[in-house]
Amino acid sequence: MAEVKRLPSLSEFEAFAFEMGGKAQAGQVFFLEGEMGMGKTTFVQSFMKGMGSSEVVSSPTFRIIHAYTQGRLPVVHMDLYRLKREKEVLSIDVPGSISPEGVTLVEWPELLKPWVKGPVTMLEFLALPEAENGRQVVMKSLVLGGG
Ligand SMILES: Nc1ncnc2c1ncn2[C@@H]1O[C@H](COP(=O)(O)OP(=O)(O)OP(=O)(O)O)[C@@H](O)[C@H]1O
Ligand SMILES: [Mg+2]
């Protein structure tokens, strides 16, 4: 079952992400989906503030995996956009980088999906046609089978 949030402005989007960071629980995995520029990294920035961390969140495009330790829970932020093949997922141990005791947020998660077992929250960010800088967030809870 999907829940749809309509967020007509950047500040409402940031408030939503902040609230999600405040509520997140140990072991949660979030898949952040949506086209380039839809707000996946922006979501992580406000999410971290909601977790009580003032760490600067950068786009992990060049590092692929960033770990943040200053918030209420440890956070791992991944951006798998540059991974082209499944074997790269394993060579840098992306599945093993999921934080069991913290929260994991994954941009461009497609290549990781076959390796994840258990519950995942999927957030898809879409444009909101009637508001220029608005976003629609489709939220779904899934249980992945790990293969
Ligand atoms: N309502 C909104 N929600 C989210 N971002 C918005 C909104 N309005 C404007 N923006 C801007 O859109 C941009 C979103 O960029 P961001 O890097 O978060 O996208 P992304 O989904 O991570 O892209 P990529 O796939 O390239 O990593 C930011 O510059 C942000 O300020
Ligand atoms: Mg990004």
More confident residue, 95 or 60: 95
Q: Which CATH architecture has domain 2-145?
A: 3-Layer(aba) Sandwich (3.40)
In this structure, the chain runs to a length of 147
All structural domains of the chain with their residue ranges = 2-145
Mutating to test ligand 1, I would choose from 35, 42, 56, 81 the residue with most ligand atoms within 8 A of its C-beta, which is: 42
**pLDDT tens-digit profile of 48-82?**
999 999 988 887 667 889 999 999 999 999 999 98
| Ligand 1 atom 10: residue of nearest CA | 10
Whole-prediction pTM: 0.96
Cβ contact 60:82 at 8 Å: no
Structure confidence at residue 80 (pLDDT): 93
Tokens 């440890």 label which residue? 74
